[in-house]
Amino acid sequence: MILGTVRKGRLSANAARLLTDELSKRASVETELIDIATLPLRTDDAGEATKDPGFAARMERADALVIVSPEYNHGYSGMLKHVLDSCLEEYIHKAVGIAGVSAGPFGGTRGIQDLLPVLRELGLVTVFWDVYFANAGKLFDSTGKLLDTSCIPRIGKFLKELIWMARTLRHGRENISLD
């Protein structure tokens, strides 16, 4: 689980914690929340030159990623792009799902739309379900508790597809040669 923003007061943290909790309920699934605000990435260079060995090791070990991305002015976080670009080979043929978060009614859909081609270029395989957290300021209380549980069934479909895709791609990476 990657929390894709470094802003203070970020509402996306509530969504990331909820998704991490829901994912950890699945049998034989291990998950951890990676907050990009805590990564020691350099900003004086680009691409793999900024690679953090700890982050890269987690990406190598992961079979799938969930990216929780707030929508910033119809796009995604520049720091999220910077973090994602720090790895390349670690992502190849791994599943990824996106959860969009916004203060408004669209739930981050415009940011997700812009992020999809980036993920594909990195070699990740996107699942066809997304999760949208619209009006995030009203969706969670001040402690981060979910106030409207109507998103739980969609989260369930999203995670079911992600886990299936992760297992399928892992089998392929381990058993099917590209040659």
List the domain boundaries for the chain: 2-175
**Buried/exposed code over 13-45 (b: 16+ C-beta within 10 A; e: otherwise):** bbbbbbbbebbeeeeeeebebbbbeebeeeeee
- Tokens, residue 90: 């670690």
Q: What is the pLDDT of residue 9?
A: 85
Q: What is the pLDDT of residue 123?
A: 97
- Tokens, residue 26: 């699945």
What element of type H or E holds 94?
Answer: strand 94-101
Q: What is the tens place of the pLDDT at every residue in 67-123?
A: 999 998 899 999 999 999 999 999 999 999 999 999 998 899 999 999 999 999 999
Q: What is the pLDDT of residue 54?
A: 96
Torsions phi, psi for 66 (to 5 deg): -120, 125
Query: Is the pLDDT reported for residue 164 higher than 90?
Result: yes
Confidence of residue 179 (pLDDT cuts 50, 70, 90): confident
Query: Is the pLDDT reported for residue 47 higher than 90?
Result: no
Q: What is the pLDDT of residue 137?
A: 92
* CA separation for the pair 72, 111 (Å, rounded): 7
Q: What is the tens place of the pLDDT at every residue in 3-29?
A: 999 998 898 999 999 999 999 999 999
* CA separation for the pair 47, 65 (Å, rounded): 19
Class of domain 2-175: alpha beta
